[in-house]
């Protein structure tokens, strides 16, 4: 049986698995991203992939590799341009270098694109639908899927919704700019609110214990502003909301939904706005990247 290898690299974990043509994931593994802390990133990745393939006797079965990163990626899906939350991953020609070493095509893309690829399949959405994905975790991730494919813009930098300017923010973002929406629309900011105003509360319980506090309500309502902004620009068929913050206990989805509707243009696109919440597993990014690799091979 033939497979692609899907890889999901985040700030904490390195996940890898094999994805069949019909969407089955086998040999899923998870490791710490700290394996990349020292040495050459490409060589470390190559050695880990090679060892994985060897251990699973898959040398003749793997047809392509796709790697998802929390990065800005070049339009040709070969070079990682900028990765603020991972050291040593900037300006690296992953695609060509790894492809030459492994002997199969290697594709690189933003991790949120692969999450949206996963969500479109698992939610059973039409392949030609226009879908926007909003992933609220440590930061604010965004993926744009239009007319059957991901929209990446001229430079591969489309979908940086966490970095649109937000009024009255003077704090510098991890990207280097001042006033980015991600400064207040992110899990990092929720941690800051919790530490400052609710120091006795474990952050995983902040919505359960303080969900009616005006500061928490404002935090949730602010999340809706960049979402509604993009909805007003692109008029999608569906929007998907997910991420670690949204999955927290007693997260007030109703407040977020109402706020998105409030800020969306009337009568349209607000009238027909379809908001979906997806559930992710440890394997979601791996499946999305592996499925993406199969789509690339068909082109």
- In CATH, what is the architecture of 127-277? 2-Layer Sandwich (3.30)
pLDDT tens-digit map of 215-257: 999 999 999 999 999 999 999 999 999 999 999 999 999 999 9
Mean pLDDT of the chain: 94
Instruction: Say which residue the tokens 């490791």 belong to.
Output: 31
| Prediction pTM value | 0.90
What is the predicted pLDDT for the residue at 12?
81
Residues near 65 by beta carbon (within 8 Å), at least 6 away in sequence: 4, 5, 7, 49, 98, 102, 104, 105, 106, 107, 293
- Can you give the residue ranges of every domain in the chain? 3-114+282-298, 127-277
Pick 3-114+282-298's CATH classification: 3.30.1330.10, 3.20.20.70, 3.40.50.300, 3.30.420.40. Answer: 3.30.420.40
Distances (CA, A) of 82 to 46, 155, 156: 20, 12, 11
pLDDT tens-digit map of 31-52: 998 899 888 899 999 999 999 9
pLDDT: which is higher, 90 or 201: 201
**127-277 and 3-114+282-298 share a CATH fold:** yes
Q: What DSSP letter does each residue of 103-129 carry, written as one string?
A: SS-EEEEEHHHHHHHHHHHHTT--TT-
The yes-or-no verdict on residue 175 having pLDDT over 90 is no
Q: At how many degrees (to 10) do helices 214-234 and 253-263 cross? A: 50
8 Å CB contact between 28 and 17: yes
- Report, as an integer, the average pLDDT of 191-209: 97
């Amino acid at each position: 049986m033939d497979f692609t290898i899907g890889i999901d690299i985040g700030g904490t974990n390195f996940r890898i698995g094999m994805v069949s043509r019909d969407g089955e994931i086998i040999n899923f593994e998870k490791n710490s991203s700290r394996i990349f802390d020292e040495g050459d990133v490409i060589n470390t990745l190559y050695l880990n992939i090679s060892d994985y393939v060897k251990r699973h006797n898959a040398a003749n079965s793997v047809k392509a590799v796709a790697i998802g990163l929390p990065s800005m990626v070049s339009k040709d899906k070969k070079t990682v341009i900028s990765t603020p939350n991972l050291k040593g991953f900037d300006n690296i020609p992953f695609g060509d270098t790894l492809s030459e070493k492994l002997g199969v095509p290697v594709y690189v893309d933003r991790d949120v694109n692969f999450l949206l690829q996963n969500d479109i399949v698992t939610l059973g959405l039409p392949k030609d639908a226009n879908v926007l994905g909003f992933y609220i975790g440590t930061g604010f991730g965004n993926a744009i899927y239009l007319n059957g494919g991901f929209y990446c813009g001229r430079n591969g930098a489309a979908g940086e919704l966490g970095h649109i300017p937000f009024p009255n923010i003077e704090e510098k973002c991890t990207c280097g700019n001042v006033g980015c929406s991600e400064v207040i629309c992110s899990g990092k900011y929720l941690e800051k609110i919790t530490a400052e105003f609710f120091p006795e509360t474990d952050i995983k319980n902040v919505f359960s214990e303080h969900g009616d506090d005006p500061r928490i309500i404002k935090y949730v309502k602010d999340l809706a502003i960049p979402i509604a902004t993009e909805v007003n620009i692109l008029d999608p068929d569906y929007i998907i909301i997910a991420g670690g913050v949204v999955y927290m206990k007693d997260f007030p989805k109703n407040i977020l939904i109402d706020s998105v509707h409030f800020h969306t243009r009337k009568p349209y696109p607000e009238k027909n706005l379809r908001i979906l919440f997806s559930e992710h597993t440890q394997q979601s990014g791996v499946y999305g990247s592996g499925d993406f690799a199969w789509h690339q091979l068909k082109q």
